[in-house]
Structure 1
Amino acid sequence: MTTPIRLLLVDDQELIRLGFRMVLEAEPDFLVVGEAADGHSAIAQVSALQPDLVLMDIRMPGLDGIAATEAIVRDNPLARVLVLTTFDLDEYAFGAIRAGASGFLLKDAQRHEMIAAVRAVHRGDAALAPRITRMLLEHVTSQLGATPAPNAAEPFADPTALLTDRERDVFLEIARGLTNAEIARALYVSESTVKTHVGRVLAKLGARDRIHAVILAHRLGVVDDDALPSGP
């Protein structure tokens, strides 16, 4: 039997948590292990319950989702955070990405979109549509400036110098927003091989996750906006 994906729901509105729980628990491989109504409670629940993934609201009373995400990612490196945001992806949501969240989920997302986003983030893909990736890059790249990637290896000025040719190929496809399955098809290798390469790429670049790898790729000029697919 497949081990279920353990989920924590964080939102200050009880009805939203209830709706999400109903959708998620209808899936045989999802298990909602807890709920929280604010950031302080979310941090405590993650520590106590050790969920695989947190669905995190941003605007909450007390401690907001940005500060909570930063604390959760810092203290629980195996936990992934999927941000709940509005349609226009306000600055709070981008702040959560900088704090370590692994993707966006629009609050008005369709059922299949929510399920796909949870599964994507859990398996290590970034839950970012091409349109959202473009907006993210426009918003944060200018703010990142020349600051090195977190934990980037030294003394290399260009962290991509550490990559093998195949890892560089994988890095380019990550930067274009492709999932592991899509990279496997593009490079004619197995998905498990891609997963191994992705792990090595992130480690060598000092990137926390795929989103930060995408930002790094654009900051280094490895790819530009034209390299992104034009899907919705």
Structure 2
Amino acid sequence: MAKKIFPLVSGLLALTGIIASLLLSAPPAMAHKNQSSSSASAVAEASTTVNNPEDAPMAMAWPTEPGMGMEMDHKKPKTFGGRLVSWLGAWHPAVIHFPIALLLTVALLEVLAAARKKPVYNAGNKVLLAFATAGGFAAAALGWANAGLPAADDGTALTWHRWIGTLIPFVYLLLWRLKRPAETAVNQPSSRLYETTLVVAVALILIQAYLGGDVTHGAGHMAF
């Protein structure tokens, strides 16, 4: 039992740790230049106008407000096509949770099947991966609609989030291709290549989730 589970868990932890350490050691993601300058000028103006700390309002702006960490500040398009793309992109945060949950469920079932030595637990994972793949491609397309085309002033987190998010659906597709059909998987354990790809996919999902929070809520959003 331990021989089957240990490579999955240790490989996932090692890969996640390496990628996370590289991202965390990099400089914090910068917001768009115009947002950074406007935020800095607003802070400077506030510091000069408030002389007594007791007179300052006890209000805190959300991190998602303009100039408070968001890397994307969308202006409403004027054309119908532009507004349609913008509206579709707004669905990205909702749709992305569907393929993420399916992949993590697949990984959990694979670990459970290895621990109990019962391949029947993960026999239906090919069907789950099919839905996850379809949802992954939909979420990636909506992500491009939400973020727009790459720009020179895109922050580090947004750039990594964009391209990792573009890669992940193809990793899902590879997993679906490697997973044996239910009739075969019910009696045979998963292949090593499939297990390795699954570990990589879960690690990418965890890193992508962190980057998504970094883009939405600003650098250091997971600080304790």
TM-score scaled to structure 2, two decimals? 0.23
- Structure number with larger C-alpha Rg: 2
Higher relative contact order (CA 8 A, sep 6+): 2
* Greater share of helix: 2
